[in-house]
Structure 1
Amino acid sequence: MKHTTNYTNTFIEVAEDCPVSQAETPSEKKIKTLAQLQYEQVIKKPYRYTSDDIVFECHAIKNDIPENEKQQARIQFFSKGQPCLRASPLAKRYGFGFHHNEEGKVAAVPVESKEYQKFLDDDSIKKVKAMRSKKI
């Protein structure tokens, strides 16, 4: 059975306990963090990738999976459930929501932007919150 992290026509809001009111760029580290990797994929190429593409590519980079092994590694990776972008540090800590369009392609949306509010106000789009960082 193949699992997926993809959504369609859905907006992932920032987590309730997100510490910022304006989106922040993840700080540069010598070894790239998950937040940096996701930021590079979603900010530089909005609506180009699905959630599955982003989640797997970050996994592949972090684990140095060679290009010629990626297809088989992706099948193996999605043979069990994986955390979706609701668990992304961008939505939990850095102040970005995620819009998934009709094709399931993803764009990051800064929490303070007019576009973010537009998605919140659009009744035709399903809304889900990012996961909280702390338990209540």
Structure 2
Amino acid sequence: MDYVDTFITVAEDCAAQTGVVPKPRGGRDTVAVLQHRMISAAPYRLTQGDVLFSTWLLQQGVDPATVPPEDPRRAEFFAVDRACLRASPLPKTHGWGLHFDAEGRVALVAVDDPRYADLHDSAGKVVKAMRSSRAR
């Protein structure tokens, strides 16, 4: 499930020309806010699974720091098919590429950062984020 030595580029229909820090909506943190905060605070420390599960925990009102790695909720969470980070709002609409290192740990790279072009050319595998709208 986790990506290794992979760069997820922004979606083809992403309008952001730079990495936009997501903002809460309606007084609540969105998935984009939670994921951005998590990944930017710990670049190359979390895997895709860590980010997805922690995001879900936060949405349930649970602090991920209080949940041990062997918690049965993690297995239950991943027992159901889940969208990967290619479907995250960060690369779809906010202008953030997601780089996974050789150990599957993720970091954010803004579309206007010089590293973005370098990673696009040098990452082991490059995949595009999912589009926000259907292709015409």
Tell me whether the two structures share a fold, i.e. TM-score over 0.5: yes
Equivalent residue for 2:23, pick from 27, 35, 39:
27
Letter in 1 for 2:56: H
Could you tell me which residue of structure 2 aligns to residue 43 of structure 1? 40
Could you tell me which residue of structure 1 aligns to residue 76 of structure 2? 76
Could you tell me how far 1:19 is from its partner in structure 2?
1.1
Q: CA RMSD in A?
A: 1.6
**Partner SS, residue 12 of structure 1:** strand
CA contact (8 A) 2:20 2:94 kept: yes
* TM alignment of 1:77-96, pairs within 5 A: 77-96=77-96
Task: Give 5+ residue unaligned stretches, structure 2.
Answer: none
CA separation of 1:43 and 1:69: change in aligned 2, threshold 3 A = closer
Equivalent residue for 1:56, pick from 53, 57, 80:
53
CA separation of 1:27 and 1:68: change in aligned 2, threshold 3 A = closer
Could you tell me how far 1:23 is from its partner in structure 2?
1.0
In structure 2, distance between residues paired with 1:73 and 1:90: 25
Equivalent residue for 1:15, pick from 7, 11, 22:
11
Task: Give 5+ residue unaligned stretches, structure 1.
Answer: none
Letter in 1 for 2:30: T
Point out 4+ residue stretches in structure 1 off by more than 2 angstroms.
64-70
In structure 2, distance between residues paired with 1:25 and 1:39: 7
In structure 1, distance between residues paired with 2:97 and 2:68: 32
Q: Please report the TM-score for the alignment, with normalisation by the length of structure 2.
A: 0.90
In structure 1, distance between residues paired with 2:67 and 2:18: 40
In structure 2, distance between residues paired with 1:36 and 1:21: 18
Letter in 1 for 2:102: E
Letter in 2 for 1:37: L
CA separation of 1:104 and 1:68: change in aligned 2, threshold 3 A = closer
Could you tell me which residue of structure 2 aligns to residue 111 of structure 1? 111
Letter in 1 for 2:78: F
Letter in 2 for 1:18: C
